[in-house]
Structure 1
């Protein structure tokens, strides 16, 4: 497994989870995802032309995707190799830190509570503002129930994108492969839209991200069912039934799984009418509306997020006990 044994990679991955629990996204040095984002924007400006045909746009999109993945993965590999050549423990530290930057458990919780805290105080204007930071839909007219839906959907979807997928690839190939995934996800979040601007240019990025998330999304579904079984007040049976009944209705082949599982576990309905730039869009409705959504569902969703991370940590510790 490149320059580290699997025992070492499991240990560093577990340490990275703890680091993210305690610190979250670093303010310094510059977060690797920010650097990847700057590269994507620069390459987009360099590659694109108003005269491009759809075929040319697709080709340039493939070029963007390929170069971004190679540079992101290669630079991390070189950085870890250089740190390891200085001292073995420096290599461990750099690899652990880089893996931690690809996950965002604390960051997701903090973003969710930026909305929850104003909602709890009845400050809808602030809640709408902070919801606008994490979703692409228009938030100016959303009420408490719709703000709650937006946050719960974001937390649920990102249990795959910001937790399980990067950890899955970290366990396969350490920091380089974890960063490969993070670069893939960043590409998708920046250019992987099915709108007039990115339908062709972002095609490769979107399809590649779907492929990388395919296995982790299904693992996440299983983990969410387990978490629902372990947490009082949640329904594991309903979470499993919701995945079977609703997940395929989502436009994404992966996001419908965690969103359906969370909706089923909580007994609420996710999906519905969203507005983007003044244009209404009806999204698949996931789960059964057994009760109205309330601001407390944000807390429940965050607890499920952390529950998944605790289960993963427990699994890693069990593996380490066996290996050592």
Structure 2
């Protein structure tokens, strides 16, 4: 597939997903690509992750599982792309509709906005209930500032791996590129944990996910900095300084970039020590502003996010036009 076609598909997919998201009726009827990928990962985990094997054997099995996952999902996406591509504009539109299911602009906004609404209307209990839907940490351990920071951190990190990353690989590799990314990211979320069962088996999935998210995390930080330059009350220089100073010190090689950018833009401190389940995680603060975030700060972060999404669409559409002009 020509680069101009994949960038056009990306532009259309971003517009479609922003307008309609992934309809609940469709999810109820057939599920979602991520749930289909998740079933395959679960089967691979159940059949290849054997507890009586050594650490080395389980790590090897995890590498094999990742290769099998990428092969099956990649070939499926390639076949769909090859089937639809000859239909010119109709095929491109159909591919864009399929690809839109791999991007989560609308659903991410809705889930994070629900935390702000929960705090405004239901107080701390409403905020805790809403934030428990999007983060893995224990909501009962969070006060209002903790709930607000958790929502903003989730917004920043998921902007990178739920939107910018699949968009990046879609633009670069068409539908197969986006599907392969989504398969890798889903594998990391399901088995890429340092638990007794998955520390060895999920090693390959976690490392590969770190690798494929590297370009998107940097691009996400840049989009947030650019968005901050367009918003009164946000600081593009503050975002830039926080990224330069703090991003590399996050325990994740990628999450620190969008989180630091968002923290610096809003004058907040994000990340830092926090509790997942019963485990306390030590991490560096991103940003040097106030830690006492509020529901109003969630709303400010969402405004930046909407602008950054618009900038991403503009970048995709402009790149598609430039690629088309060059190809002529």
- The structural deviation recorded for 1:57 is 1.1
Is the 1:225–1:240 Cα contact (8 Å) retained in structure 2? yes
Q: Note the 1:109-120 alignment, pairs <5 A.
A: 109-120=109-120
Rounded to whole Å, the distance in 1 between the matches of 2:213 and 2:60 is: 23
Shift in Å, 1:10:
1.7
**What residue is the counterpart of 2:18 in the other structure?**
21
Partner Cα separation in structure 2 for residue 285 and residue 189 of structure 1 = 23
Structure 1 length normalisation: TM-score?
Answer: 0.94
Partner residue, 1:159: 159
1:265 aligns with 2:274: no
Shift of 1:122: 3.3
Contact 1:193 1:199 in 2 (8 A): yes
Q: Secondary structure, in 3 states, of the residue corresponding to 1:254?
A: coil
State which drifts further: 122-131 or 212-221.
122-131
Which residue in 1 is equivalent to 2:145?
Answer: 145
Mapped to 2, the partners of 1:125 and 1:209 lie a distance apart of: 34
- Unaligned segments of structure 1, at least 5 residues: none
Please say which of residues 10-19 and 297-306 is displaced more in the overlay.
297-306
Q: Give the unaligned 5+ runs of structure 2.
A: none
Question: Is residue 2:2 matched to residue 1:9?
Answer: no
Map of 1:51 onto structure 2: 52
Q: Does the residue aligned with 1:280 lie in a helix, a strand or coil?
A: strand
The answer for the alignment partner of 2:232 in structure 1 is: 232
Q: Does structure 2 retain, via aligned residues, the 8 Å contact 1:262–1:301?
A: yes
Name the counterpart of 2:136.
136
- Aligned residue for 2:133, secondary structure, equals helix
Q: Work out the CA distance in 2 between the residues paired with 1:237 and 1:225.
A: 8
**Alignment partners' CA distance in 1, 2:251 and 2:231:** 29
Cα distance per residue 1:164-202 (max 9 Å; x no partner): 111111111111101111111101111111233321111
**Contact in 2 for aligned 1:105/1:305 (Cα 8 Å):** no
Aligned partner of 1:183 in structure 2 is 183
Residue of structure 2 in register with 1:305 after alignment: 305
- Report the CA distance between 1:317 and its aligned residue: 2.9
1:123 matched to 2:126? The reply is: no
Alignment match, 1:32: 33
CA offsets per residue over residues 118-177 of structure 1, 9 Å max, x none? 111133323212211211111123211110011100010111101111111111111110
- Inter-partner Cα distance in structure 1 for 2:249 and 2:13: 34
The CA distance in 1 between the partners of 2:292 and 2:276, in whole Å, is: 24
State the Cα distance separating 1:321 from its structure 2 match. 4.1
- The whole-number CA distance in structure 1 between the counterparts of 2:31 and 2:122 is 35
Moved more, 273-282 or 175-184: 273-282
Q: Which range moved further: 63-72 or 273-282?
A: 273-282
Distance 1:89 1:265 in 2: 40
Contact 2:213–2:254 (Cα < 8 Å) also in 1: yes
State the 4+ residue runs in structure 1 displaced beyond 6 angstroms: none
Answer whether contact 2:247 2:286 (CA < 8 A) is retained: yes
Residues of 2 paired with 1:51 and 1:112: CA distance? Answer: 42
Deviation per CA, 1:270-319, whole angstroms, max 9, x where unpaired?
Answer: 12332222232222211113463111121122222222221122223333
Q: Does 1:246 align with 2:243?
A: no
Residue matched to 1:192: 192
Q: 1:216 Cα deviation (Å)?
A: 1.5
DSSP-derived class of the 1:222 partner = helix
Give the count of matched residue pairs: 320
Residues 4 and 321 in structure 2, CA contact (< 8 A), matched pair in contact too: no
Structure 1 CA distance, aligned partners of 2:17 and 2:70?
23
Question: Is the 8 Å Cα contact of residues 51 and 197 (structure 2) preserved in structure 1?
Answer: no
